[in-house]
């Protein structure tokens, strides 16, 4: 085996050409990682929204809370089921909710943006963990008040504590700001269940029921019962599953775009790396001949050149990873559940791993042909070449 320092020194001699190949690979890795970071960020935001402990009850066949609707008394009958866990106050952990969207002006340009508005009872804050009021106070039951998510407050005009917003024909006081730890609730406005019901002419109905099961394994049976109820057909799914489904289409699109763009770009960069490696091999053919004459086997020469390509590509991969970290935390918004959701780009360790693996693959593929050429060159010819 040839020492690694031999490879590094030989790259250093052709540093200009090597650098161009490295930059090419790093750009490909950076684009790949940025797209993955966007998909991960969106998925993580929605994943963080749904808890594995909770279950969501919707009208059967509805894909989202917005398109689901059932009479409140049907929801109330589900809410007294014994399989539901109880909170510290020994009341069942069930949160009936009204969900709609309202078009409100964006802070940046005044264009209208769709915001999800949710009518809740105090139970909503017990069923869901990690919600904190960071400014002002929480809702008081029965009043025309709202608390606004941190994200939506930053994005939409007129949502400071103390201001009023008009929805339908009612004015609502903004009384507090809610921090939902980067989840989709950060992009929502919450008001009292009954007040919302009367303002939006939705009294007597609800869109969804979020509840905590005492035993998660009872979900499939519960779901079956709800679907088979002859009066009102409902369905139950895990809250986590629901939000992951909501993320599905967009993350799928972004992942597919990431793969398409980086495979095409990556093939281009592999050709670039191949040129560099070819030049390196050609310049050193006499050296290779000498090594072979000294008794180093073909396999060793081959692996030495592949290792060289790999080193080059990994250097590019690392630079690409560092470049992609620049977009980590970048804010973006998208539409899900028909309302806008803010999320941050997330470069996860797994993504970085994918990036480096991708770079390594490009390096190995790019150096394999030139390495074969070097290793299979007849010794006599190699020594003669200038």
Q: Give whichever of 225 and 245 is closer to another protein, judged by the CB atom.
A: 245
Q: Which region among 65-73, 137-145, 178-186, 211-219 touches another protein (by CB under 8 A)?
A: 65-73
Is residue 93 classed exposed, middle or buried when 0-12, 13-18 and 19+ CB atoms within 10 A define those classes? buried
Beta strands in the chain (DSSP E): 54-59, 70-71, 94-105, 112-120, 132-136, 145-149, 164-167, 170-179, 188-192, 205-206, 208-212, 234-238, 331-336, 339-344
- Kind of pairing between the strands at 331-336 and 234-238: unpaired
Note whether 113 binds another protein by CB under 8 A.
yes
Q: Spell out, one character per residue from 8 to 47, where the chain touches another protein: x when CB under 8 A holds, - when not.
A: --------xx--xx-xx--xx-xx--xx--x---------
**Cβ nearer to another protein, comparing 89 with 111:** 111
- CA dihedral over 219, 223, 224, 230, signed as positive or negative: positive
Q: Which is nearer to another protein, 23 or 314 (CB)?
A: 23
Examine residue 225 and tell whether it contacts another protein (CB under 8 A): no
Contacts of 126 (CB under 8 A, 6+ apart): 87, 93, 95
Query: Tokens at residue 306, please?
Result: 């592949």
Q: Is 326 in the site for another protein (CB under 8 A)?
A: no
The DSSP bridge pattern shows strands 188-192 and 112-120 to be parallel
Q: Shortest gap between Cβ of 232 and another protein (angstroms)?
A: 11
307: contact with another protein by CB under 8 A: no
**Contacts (CB under 8 A) with another protein, residues 242-271:** 245, 249-250, 252-253, 256-257, 259-261, 264-265, 267-269, 271
- 335 lies in the site for another protein, by CB under 8 A: yes
Beta carbon nearer to another protein, 34 or 306: 34
- Binding residues for another protein restricted to 268-297, rule: CB under 8 A: 268-269, 271-272, 274-276, 278-279
Q: Is 112 a binder of another protein (CB under 8 A)?
A: yes
**Within 10 Å of residue 281's Cβ, how many Cβ atoms?**
23
Q: Return all residues near 234 (Cβ < 8 A) that are at least 6 apart.
A: 57, 58, 59, 60, 70, 74, 78, 226, 227
Residues 319 and 316: their CA atoms lie apart, in Å, by 5
* Complex with another protein: residue 62 or 218, whichever CB lies closer: 62
Nearer residue to another protein within complex by CB, 61 or 158: 61
Closest CA to 342 of 214, 138, 110, 150: 150
Which residues of this chain interact with another protein, rule CB under 8 A?
Answer: 16-17, 20-21, 23-24, 27-28, 30-31, 34-35, 38, 59-63, 66-70, 100-103, 111-114, 167-168, 200, 245, 249-250, 252-253, 256-257, 259-261, 264-265, 267-269, 271-272, 274-276, 278-279, 332-335, 338
């Amino acid at each position: 085996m040839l020492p690694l320092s031999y490879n590094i020194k030989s790259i250093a001699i052709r540093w200009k050409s090597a650098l161009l190949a490295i930059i090419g690979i790093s750009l490909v890795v950076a684009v790949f990682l940025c797209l993955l970071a966007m998909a991960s960020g969106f998925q993580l935001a929605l994943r963080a929204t749904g808890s594995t402990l909770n279950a969501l009850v919707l009208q059967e066949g509805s894909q989202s809370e917005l398109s689901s609707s059932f009479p409140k008394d049907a929801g109330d009958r589900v809410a007294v089921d014994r399989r539901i866990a109880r909170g510290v106050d020994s009341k069942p952990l069930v949160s009936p909710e009204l969900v709609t969207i309202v078009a409100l002006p964006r802070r940046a340009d005044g264009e209208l943006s769709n915001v999800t508005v949710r009518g809740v009872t105090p139970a909503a804050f017990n069923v869901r963990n990690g919600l904190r009021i960071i400014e002002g106070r929480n809702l008081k039951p029965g009043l025309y008040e709202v608390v606004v998510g941190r994200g939506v407050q930053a994005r939409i005009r007129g949502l400071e504590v103390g201001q009023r917003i008009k929805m339908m024909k009612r004015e609502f006081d903004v009384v507090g700001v809610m921090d939902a730890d980067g989840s989709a609730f950060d992009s929502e406005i919450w008001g009292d269940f009954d007040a919302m019901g009367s303002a939006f002419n939705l009294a007597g109905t609800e869109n969804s029921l979020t509840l905590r099961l005492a035993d998660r394994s009872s979900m499939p049976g519960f779901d079956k019962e709800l679907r088979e109820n002859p009066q009102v057909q409902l369905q139950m799914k895990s809250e986590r599953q629901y939000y992951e489904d909501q993320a599905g289409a967009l993350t799928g699109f972004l992942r597919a775009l990431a793969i398409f763009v980086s495979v095409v770009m990556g093939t281009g960069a592999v050709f670039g790396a191949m040129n560099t490696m070819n030049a390196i091999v050609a310049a050193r053919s006499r050296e290779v001949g000498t090594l072979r004459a000294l008794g180093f086997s073909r396999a060793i020469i081959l692996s030495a050149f592949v290792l060289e390509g790999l080193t080059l590509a990994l250097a590019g991969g690392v630079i690409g990873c560092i470049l992609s970290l620049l977009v980590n935390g970048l804010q973006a918004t998208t539409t899900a559940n028909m309302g806008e959701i803010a999320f941050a780009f997330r470069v996860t360790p797994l993504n970085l791993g994918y990036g480096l693996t991708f770079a390594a693959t490009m390096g190995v593929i790019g150096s394999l042909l030139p390495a074969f050429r070097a290793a299979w060159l007849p010794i006599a010819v190699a020594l003669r070449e200038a």
